[in-house]
Homo-oligomer: A and B are copies of this chain.
Amino acid sequence: MSDYEDAVAGLAALGERPGGARAALEAVLMVIDQPASSEELAAGLGLTVAVVDELLAGLQRDYNGYTVNAPGTDADGSPADAGASSAPRGFELRNVAGGWRIYSRPEFSDVVGKFVLDGQTARLTQAALETMAVIAYRQPVSRARVSAIRGVNVDSVVRTLVQRGLVEEAGTDPESGSLLYRSTSYFLERMGIASLEELPPLSPHLPGLEGIEEFFDAERM
């Protein structure tokens, strides 16, 4: 079990420092500028993924303001929870686009917005949102197919989405040779979700899906 030994060795070394492994993880979270997966964090800290996952969950609860005795806190008394506080912090730790990252809490968006100049991008138009939805749920998908679903030409809208980094090219369709598009991890980030599976399912929105589905496959361009 060399994994385990490594993890213990890592823990021991980090454990001697103030705050221990939990603080080490926090220190790393302070310098990343894009989401970092538990695997990346574990490798950087010399800990197992399981330990890091537990520490992350502890930090998340901690920042959200659960106390040590609150329901939902692990009973194992891991050091991760030793410093948990009762009032929520101004920031939160979230698992977004397959990685962990620190965000300011939404309740303070007005205040933070005054200090962060360039953080926010303009809102998407209705046309862009609809096109984004079709691409997110039908990816990889050609512009022609998105056009067919929306009933209008989508070339310029897709270009805008690509420029905004929400959509990217995903090769060409082997049959028609047309360019295919898919959503990016930045889209997941902006949506605040870890993966595409977290998107709400399409089916409830489509009545009588079975027949229609076949029908559209036939129509596929």
Contact = CB atoms under 8 A, between A and B. Distances in A.
Q: For the complex formed by this chain, how many copies does it contain in all?
A: 2
Contacts of A33: 156, 159
A172 interface: yes
A19 B66 CA distance: 12
A1 interface: no
B44 A118 contact: yes
Interface stretch (A80-88, A129-137, A196-204): A80-88
Interface string A63-90: 0010000000000000100111111111
Nearest to A153: B165
Given A111-B14, A122-B221, A27 B83 contact: no
A28 B90 contact: yes
Interface in A41-78: 41, 43-45, 65
